[in-house]
Amino acid sequence: MLDNSPDNLIVEGKLADNERMKKASNYLRGTIAEDLQDPLTGGFTPDNFQLIRFHGMYQQDDRDIRGERADQKLEPLHNVMLRARMPGGIIQPSQWLTIEKFAEDHTMYGSVRLTTRQTFQFHGVLKPHIKDMHKVINSAGIDSIATAGDVNRNVLCTTNPVESELHAEAYEWSKKISEHLLPNTKAYAEIWLDGEKAKTTEEPILGETYLPRKFKTTVSIPPNNEVDVHANDLNFVAIAEDGKLVGFNVLVGGGLAMTHGDTATYPRKADDFGFIPLEHTLAVAEHVVSVQRDWGNRVNRKNAKTKYTLDRVGVETFKAEVEKRAGVTFEPSRPYEFTSRGDRFGWVEGMDGRQHLTLYILSGRILDFPNRPLKTGIRKIAELLKDVDGADFRMTANQNLVIAGVPAELKAEVESLAREHALITDFDTPQLKNSMACVALPTCPLAMAEAERFLPDLVVNVEQILAKHGIPDDSIVLRVVGCPNGCGRAMLAEAGLVGKGPGKYNLYLGGNVVGTRVPKLHLENKSPEVILEELDRLVGLWSKEREEGECFGDYVIRTGVVAEVKVSKTDFHA
């Protein structure tokens, strides 16, 4: 039995060093401004290295040449990655033109990288360009506040362009929640935009030391689970009546990361707290955050996320506290069902008669590749649509891009631009479109193995396996991540590969198509060859023995290849 007495709600002990750092930072200022002036290194001093994350940047270096530069007696090629705040992933074509130009002119890789959280990242911005970068994106109405660090991150919202009205409402909520939970400090404007120095700062919601750990929120529109609710701390599942939004079911405590070899860490699904009508949305959001702020583990960062707080204090205790603080009582959940998670590629027509084109973007990497001038293509489409009222771009949580709100008369032109620039091809298989990878090497400092750069090869092999077993039009939700942080959400895949070392992966099996089940370890620390052999064997069995409509993940559970993970805390490592 869990002991839910109040003195057990807070983990005692020596605070994690990040807590000291946050407290000493004077509301996220630290000495970032001084570091910016230091011409001797492209990097930041340790505290600021962490603090710039709260401003949406990570210090990185090109790991491919780290060793080479050490031999050259040069420091690693320090740079920053920037992650923008784009609630719901909507970006205007005119904004797109601004950011893709910056990527072209001032980043080492030249790419705009769409992420699994509906925004874009610049990779490889050198120190002298950092301030300019913020000025440029802000001039286009974009910022990067709180897209990283111990705060509420970019708020997701299902892209769904078809039910335009419902989407518009849900999207407005994602923006409101994002803004409501944003840090109050003016540090961002002061440091990057030469804003005036604020006289005082208070953080009524987040507090002086912000949250114990990152915090992720979504607004989703069933039946599509594109946002992957179970990867998130807080989810507002839209409940509509007659196409009108009436409230949300609130799901709390999802999260996917773990640490190899540490069984106290595990991916965990979110728990359903119940339904709330719309008017309580911000209060509930605020107080799920405030309870996690006060009760989350500030001693051990590996156990600091909401999912562990829930497992420690108990779901009911947590929920009761939220109700108390928000002055709300959760009603019983309203029924809803997720039936899909992927994007609807190609053209669809919205209820408002507008045309929407969903483009498959391999790993979200928008760049001009040989024979695939994706960046140029999207730029041309943006130029075409930049003054068209109601047209926008939507970055999906599957790293893809929707060209939304195209007036019927421009459809043909958009289509031909997309085809000319290999944004639409006739070769992308269902398997490819159901595969995803995180960034990993060369920019991610935490990567243990390749992911984005390994995906194309892996997919070709899996396609061949499917073809070999006579089911070339079937697919498996396949996700590869470079380390157990799981940014490509492998822990909600039917088959998830998790990097363990160079060229070595763990294979997890048994998630499902809609993302409501966590997979379980099947092979540990194996080369891609060994993993593919095993997939070959299992796909062979599945192709023969599956029941009507049975997906691969369900099959491996039914036949006992892996045990089902029902309660992560007890089952995942069992």
Question: Interface with ligand SRM by CB under 6 A: which range of 115-123, 342-350, 410-418, 507-515?
Answer: 115-123
Quote the DSSP letter at residue 6: G
Bridge partners of 235, per DSSP, are 218, 251
Strand partners, 509: 495, 520
Q: State the binding partner of 126 from ligand SF4, other proteins, ligand SRM, none, CB within 5 to 8 A by kind.
A: other proteins
* Catalytic residue status for 83: yes
- Residue 142 makes contact with other proteins by CB under 8 A: no
Of the residues 29, 53, 153, 517, only one is catalytic, namely 153
Active site residue 307: no
Element (H, E) at 138: helix 127-139
Nearer to ligand SRM, 191 or 436 (CB): 436
Between vectors from CA 101 to CA 95 and to CA 104, what angle results, nearest 5°?
145
Binding of residue 436 to ligand SF4 (CB under 6 A): no
Q: In degrees rounded to 5, what are phi and psi of residue 170?
A: -60, -40
* Cis preceding-peptide flag for 442 (omega within 30 of 0): yes
Q: What are the angstrom distances between the C-alpha of 132 and each of 39, 102, 116, 278, 311?
A: 16, 10, 26, 39, 44
- Is there binding between residue 281 and ligand SRM (CB under 6 A)? no
Binds other proteins by CB under 8 A, chosen from 70, 246, 351, 408: 70
Contact status: 483 vs ligand SF4 (CB under 6 A): yes
Provide, rounded to whole angstroms, the least separation between the CB of residue 65 and other proteins.
7
Mark whether 157 is an active-site residue: no
Structure tokens, 329: 């009582």
State in angstroms the smallest separation of the CB of 350 from ligand SF4.
33
Pick out residues in 491-520 that bind ligand SRM (CB under 6 A).
none
Sheet containing strand 90-91, edge to edge, reads 90-91, 392-395, 401-406, 355-359, 346-349
Minimum Å distance from CB 97 to ligand SRM? Answer: 21
Chosen from ligand SRM, ligand SF4, other proteins, none, partner binding at 75 (C-beta under 5 to 8 Å by type): other proteins
Q: How far apart are alpha carbons 434 and 398 in whole angstroms?
A: 9
Taking CB under 6 A as the criterion, the residue among 70, 246, 446, 567 binding ligand SRM is 446
* Residue nearest ligand SF4, CB atom distance: 482
Torsion over CA: 150, 177, 275, 221 (sign)? negative
- 111 touches ligand SRM by CB under 6 A: no
Residue 487 near ligand SF4 by CB under 6 A: yes
What is the per-residue burial (b if ≥16 Cβ within 10 Å, else e) of 534-561?
bbbebbeebbeebeeeebbbbbbbeeeb
DSSP-assigned beta bridge partners for residue 403? 357, 393
Interaction partner, residue 115 (ligand SF4, other proteins, ligand SRM, none; CB < 5-8 Å by kind): ligand SRM
For residue 194, what are the CA distances in angstroms to 59, 203, 218? Answer: 21, 21, 32
Catalytic annotation, residues: 83, 153, 214, 216, 438, 444, 483, 487
Q: Which residues bind ligand SRM (CB under 6 A)?
A: 58, 60, 81, 83, 115-117, 119, 121, 147, 153-154, 214, 216, 228, 231, 255-257, 305, 364, 399, 438-439, 443-446, 485-489
